[in-house]
Structure 1
Amino acid sequence: MVTKSQAQDDLLKLAETQDSARTGHTTGTFKATRLLNGHTVQTNGAGALLFLISHRFGTLNSGAYEFWGLDQATIRLGLEYGLTDQLTVGVGRSSLEKTYDGFLKYKLLQQQEAGMPITLTLFTSTAIKTLEWFEPNVEEQFKYRLTYTFQALVARKLTDRVSLQVAPTLVHRNLVPLSTDENNVYAVGAGGRFKLTKRTTFNAEYFYLLPGATADQFRNSLSLGVDIETGGHVFQLMATNSQGMIEQFFIPSNAGSWSKGDIYFGFNISRVFQLKEK
């Protein structure tokens, strides 16, 4: 039963698990549950509901007619709820290919001041493309609309200012355009944040596609941005060569090139509500 619906005054305490009372545990590795496009090790506290708005404009090289991308946009709306301090469940809907996604995120290990050197969070998601079927040579089947992602998010807060993360990733697509394309795409994400002030950080994120047919056809995702924490929200402003905001888009099918001006300006806005008293 919902006993309380209260906007929180400090999102830093809600973007991470609410276990700071546990002696010796390191908290606040990142400001939010997203680094830029990808997830961080952060999970919501028990009973915390996060509303996430993600927005990407068109490419910078689209020119004056498209107002350098501002006339074009894709958006994702998401809800993420902390079932426990370690387990978060989330759902979202992207305008790109009219895609719905759902995920589970479980914090298996948490960094400690003495002992455990890392935080480890396991992530899995399923995405469903609901765009009208445009595959004339393939009979429409529901399974062909599905894509799965599996990640191990490993992070360490090195100092109060610096945190780093790596994310070995597998994206499985039930249907690919050509027989030579890969159903299973492997990648390694890496990124981190540097705290500029108490409420702002600089973030960087990169996903490297392991050698194969997908890496030969598509580009690695590179994103740079700034987090601004206002007490009730986290605003993430960024530039990225990836239009999509979930893993099935920005990892195995990213065509954007920084050198050619395929740069998408965008933002994430996070707001957390505490629905259940601790």
Structure 2
Amino acid sequence: MKKLTFTLILLCLMAMKGYSQDDLLSDLEAEQPEGPQIVTSTFKGTRLINGHSVETRKEGTLEFMISHRFGTLNSGSYNFWGLDQASIRIALEYAVFDRFMIGVGRSSYQKTYDGYLKYKLLQQQKGSVNMPISVVLFSSLAIKTLKRTDDFPVTFDDKLASTYQMLIARKFSDRLSLQVSPTFVQYGLIEANETRGDVLAIGVGGRLKLTNRLAINAEYFPQLRDKGDQFQNAFAIGVDIETGGHVFQLQFTNATSMIEKGFVGESTNDFFDGDIHFGFNISRAFQLK
């Protein structure tokens, strides 16, 4: 009987000791500051729709991208509602390191070559380091090589257009992300009246996640300093589909061009008048490092 009583007392003491240790450990863990947590996957890919998103690829990733825009849906059955016409851009984009990307591309629109630099200045974080937004600096240079049909003299500088953007985004939840994109585009030559000029616009857009592989995007670039009444603000709405190594983006937009100098300042179609292009972006990433 004494042995049984001694054994029960010993077990109770061991249990109390274990509980005290667990309780003390919980208190210590609660006192420790929460480490920084990087907020990832604000958007599915490096493009929102036409414009860039705040996403950058991991270091050593090479991305091959094909962007395609058909003709307008209201062009009628003769043009098979735009499917007989098409504008395309192909590009190679490389992540020099996690926050810095470079890219080059060629568009059939005005036979344009373009290159860009993209640097993530701030990354959204929570925890011990609170950074509520992600900020990316973007710059691109494009040259139009389409031959003119008139005798108007142009220089090399006249064919150039440069773009400067600050992309500011916040992932509010697993489902909702929003982005604001102040944009400045400077043209060597404005086609409407053959004078030099520039465009200032504020892009706004967002993403609503429906499932792990499906999301709806929208994007709008109202001009604050427009180039003329014949040009329209770029608007787009689309769907992102993730399929393993591919991100497949389907969209409807009034923009024919797929680079900033084109869709921000040279869109002539009116989305709400039926001048809508159906198109897609498809990308494939290759990990070289």
Q: TM exceeds 0.5?
A: yes
Question: What's the % identity of the aligned pairs?
Answer: 56
Q: Quick one: distance in 1 between partners of 2:192 and 2:282? A: 37
C-alpha distance in 2 between matches for 1:28 and 1:59: 32
State the distance in 2 between where 1:215 and 1:195 align. Answer: 36
Within-5 A mapping of 1:23-172:
23-114=36-127, 115-138=130-153, 140-172=154-186
Partner of 2:212: 198
Q: Which residue in the other structure is 1:19 paired with?
A: none
Residue 211 of structure 1 and its aligned partner are, at CA, apart by 4.2
Once the two structures are overlaid, the 10-residue window that deviates more, 171-180 or 255-264, is 171-180
Name the stretch that deviates more: 173-182 or 43-52.
173-182
What residue in structure 1 maps to residue 201 of structure 2?
187
Q: Which residue of 2 aligns with 1:266?
A: 279
Task: Tell me which amino acid in the other structure corresponds to 1:73.
Answer: A
Deviation at 1:178, TM superposition (A): 5.5
TM-score by length of 2: 0.84
Partner of 1:207: 221
Query: Is the Cα contact below 8 Å between 1:206 and 1:221 reproduced in 2?
Result: yes
Q: What are the ranges of 5 or more consecutive residues in structure 1 without an aligned counterpart? A: 1-21
Distance in 2 of aligned mates of 1:54 and 1:179? 29
The answer to whether the Cα contact below 8 Å between 2:189 and 2:195 also exists between their aligned partners in 1 is no
Structure-1 residue corresponding to 2:13: none
Q: In structure 2, what is the Cα distance between the partners aligned to 1:52 and 1:137?
A: 35
- Per the normalisation by structure 1, the TM-score is 0.88
How far, CA to CA, are the matches of 2:265 and 2:193 in structure 1?
Answer: 16
Write out the 4+ residue segments of structure 1 that deviate beyond 4 Å after TM superposition. 178-182
User: Is the Cα–Cα contact under 8 Å of residues 162 and 194 in structure 1 kept in the other structure?
Assistant: yes
- 1:159 is paired with a residue whose SS is coil
Answer whether contact 2:189 2:196 (CA < 8 A) is retained. no
| Structure-2 residue corresponding to 1:233 | 246
Higher relative contact order (CA 8 A, sep 6+): 1
Counterpart of 1:216 in 2: which secondary structure? Answer: coil
AA of the residue aligned to 1:149: T
RMSD over equivalenced CA pairs, Å: 1.5
Q: Distance in 1 between matches of 2:195 and 2:272?
A: 25
1:136 Cα shift?
Answer: 1.8
Q: Deviations over 1:71-116 (max 9, x none)?
A: 1001000111000101000000001111000000000000001311
Give the superposition deviation at 1:179.
5.6
Whole-angstrom CA distance in 1 between matches of 2:265 and 2:107: 17
Residues 239/179 of structure 1: CA separation in 2 closer, same or farther (3 Å cut): closer
Aligned residue identity for 2:139: T
Larger Rg computed on CA atoms: 2
For the 8 Å contact 1:209–1:215, the answer to whether it is kept is no
